[in-house]
Amino acid sequence: MQKADDLARIYLARHCKTRWNLENRLIGTTDLPLCEEGIEEAKANLSRIEKLGIDRIISSNLKRAYQTAKIYAEHLKVPLHICSGLREIDHGSWNGQKLQELLNDSQSNFKKWFDDPTSISIPDGTETILSAQKRIVETIKKIALKYPGETILVVMHKHIRSILRCTLLNLELKHFRENIDESIEPVEIPKEQLRKLFEIKL
């Protein structure tokens, strides 16, 4: 097990809103920018972010995350790095569709996936939920090791964050749906959970 002093302190934050978020559509890897509401949301979140003592920010490579992170980084005057390993899950043919319509459409199989994403593959998706889990765990481990002693803000997405949260809490991925967090407030990964990531075999 890694020692706490050997690792970075990591806060996770979700990106702010896009037009599709306001319309409650699945975005996945569709590369949408923040809408005006999202930009204002990021600015309003600065008072929370600036209290954390952030040394650097690492963002998903998708526009909505990068734009959120850039607002934070410019305000804090800290380095900003892009990491494709933090990108959202590709929702394949579900991208752009409204969540409630997908849940109501039994032919889409979305509800089956949403309730247990290990049960079926995403139609036309580019990775499975298990490969996405391996990706995000390896990415967070690399960040933790690369910046020991620093406080890092990681800007990511709600579904990939839910996968990570399940892993940190030692939950099966059928608990994915109940661990989705829509909020943008930064949340620290407890050091004990972060250390245990290095023991997990995926």
Mean pLDDT, residues 72-90 taken together: 98
Q: How many domains does the chain have?
A: 1
Task: Check residue 54 and give its pLDDT.
Answer: 98
In the chain, the percentage of residues whose pLDDT exceeds 90 is 96
Q: Is residue 177 exposed (0-12), middle (13-18) or buried (19+ Cβ within 10 Å)?
A: middle
Report the CATH number that the domain containing residue 109 is assigned in CATH: 3.40.50.1240
pLDDT band at 82 (very low <50, low <70, confident <90, very high): very high
Report the 10 Å Cβ neighbour count for 198: 14
Task: Check residue 2 and give its pLDDT.
Answer: 58
Task: Check residue 201 and give its pLDDT.
Answer: 86
In the chain, the percentage of residues whose pLDDT exceeds 70 is 98
Tokens, residue 139? 């990415």
Using CA atoms, how far apart are residues 77 and 96, in angstroms rounded to an integer?
A: 35
pLDDT band at 30 (very low <50, low <70, confident <90, very high): very high
Task: Check residue 182 and give its pLDDT.
Answer: 92
Domain holding 147, by residue range, is 4-199
Question: pLDDT of 158-182, one tens digit each?
Answer: 999 999 999 999 999 999 999 999 9
User: Does the pLDDT of residue 3 top 70, yes or no?
Assistant: no
User: Does the pLDDT of residue 1 top 80, yes or no?
Assistant: no
Question: pLDDT of 90-141, one tens digit each?
Answer: 999 999 999 999 999 999 999 999 999 999 999 999 999 999 999 999 999 9
Mean pLDDT, residues 42-65 taken together: 98
Find where tokens 């829509």 sit. 182
Task: Check residue 4 and give its pLDDT.
Answer: 56
Task: Check residue 84 and give its pLDDT.
Answer: 98
Residue 57: φ, ψ to 5°: -125, 140
Find where tokens 């709600």 sit. 158
